[in-house]
Amino acid sequence: MQRFALSSLSNFLILASISTALTSQADELPPPVQTLANQGLTIHGQFDAPGGLRGYGASVQGQDMAIYLTPDGEHAIVGTLMDSAGNDLTEAQLDEHVRVPLEAETWQLLEDSHWIQDGDDNAPRIIYTFTDANCPYCRQFWEQARPWVEAGEVQLRHIMIGILAPNSPALAATILGSEDPAATLHAHNEGEIINADAQPRNVEEQVYDNNQLFEELGLYATPTSAFQYVADSGNLRIDRIQGLPSAERLVDMMGSEAP
């Protein structure tokens, strides 16, 4: 299956909120690199580079980049390092030292959000999906996923948000705050009318937190779904689909043909 790579980390990563040991211990950074950090770059990790250079993975405003420190430790170069054959020596380093750890952090943020489980506890594949109760495409996606969910192969985790209609936040809170949120969401997706009721403040704050996460990840469409896959490098990566997936992408997301 073809992977649709993220065009930039800002598509599905929170960069500004993630700090690392390097950024928290300024005395570990050489002066030129520290100067760039002071100007707003986040330094994520260090790696070896040819020619006596020392590399640093960095990011700013959703863009990842490499910094190369010269052997004298007095100068820093921001850019792509090429060898004599024209091979890009930077891309793999950015994957390992910036994208992989940040995607792991992002996956944890999704896990820590307020979601409703749809599927077996032991399903081998987990998919997080941002769901607005007023979104017809969310309901269609729920229907698309039924074969895999009912076969115990996929667990959907619906991160309930309220963005599409004036009553969306209250409706999301009503579903989250119900006695059995999974059953309530299931009934809603099968066409049962759910009336939005006032909920305790902590439940309303759960919807607010989910909305904030949706915005901070730079998302704009519901459903937006995220899942992990093993890259050629062996690292776990995040793929995401905004809106209804095509038939090909649905299989990619679910990890197999329909049971």
Tens of pLDDT, residues 191-216: 999 998 889 999 999 999 999 999 98
> What is the residue type of 128?
Y
Contact indicator for 177, 127 with CB cutoff of 8 Å:
no
Question: Residue 175 belongs to a domain with what CATH number?
Answer: 3.40.30.10
In a domain, 71, yes or no: yes
Same domain (yes/no): 169, 205 = yes
| Residue 81 confidence (pLDDT) | 95
DSSP state for residue 28 in the 8-state scheme? G
Cα–Cα distances (Å) from 84 to 52, 89, 92, in that order, read: 16, 11, 17
Domain that holds residue 209: 113-254
Same domain (yes/no): 47, 117 = no
| Residue 4 confidence (pLDDT) | 35
Same domain (yes/no): 76, 131 = no
Phi, psi of 145 (to 5 degrees): -80, -10
Same domain (yes/no): 186, 60 = no
Q: CA-CA distance, 39 to 28, in Å (whole number)?
A: 17
Same domain (yes/no): 54, 153 = no
Pairing status of strand 76-78 against strand 115-118: unpaired
Poorest-pLDDT segment among 7-21, 30-44, 102-116, 189-203:
7-21
| Residue 79 confidence (pLDDT) | 93
**pLDDT band, residue 243 (cuts 50/70/90):** very high
| Residue 18 confidence (pLDDT) | 41
Which residues are within 8 A (CB) of 207 and not within 5 positions of it... i.e. 6 or more apart?
114, 160, 161, 162, 169, 172, 173, 176
Dihedral Cα 107, 232, 229, 67, nearest 10 deg: 20
Question: Residue 81 belongs to a domain with what CATH number?
Answer: 3.10.450.70
Give the end of a domain, one of 55, 89, 123: 89
| Residue 5 confidence (pLDDT) | 37
Q: Which residue has the higher pLDDT, 112 or 233?
A: 112
- Average the pLDDT over 96-121 and give the result: 93
| Residue 95 confidence (pLDDT) | 87
pLDDT at residue 6 is higher than 80: no
Split into its structural domains, the chain has a count of 2
Give the end of a domain, one of 55, 73, 89: 89
Q: Which residue has the higher pLDDT, 237 or 16?
A: 237
In a domain, 81, yes or no: yes
Same domain (yes/no): 235, 127 = yes
DSSP state for residue 97 in the 8-state scheme? I
| Segment 131-188, tens digit of pLDDT | 999 999 999 999 999 999 999 999 999 999 999 999 999 999 999 999 999 999 999 9
Pairing status of strand 54-60 against strand 42-48: antiparallel
Q: Which residue has the higher pLDDT, 64 or 185?
A: 185
Same domain (yes/no): 169, 210 = yes
Same domain (yes/no): 80, 46 = yes
Would you say the pTM of this structure is higher than 0.95? no
- Orientation of helix 181-189 relative to helix 136-150, angle to 10°: 110
pLDDT at residue 45 is higher than 60: yes
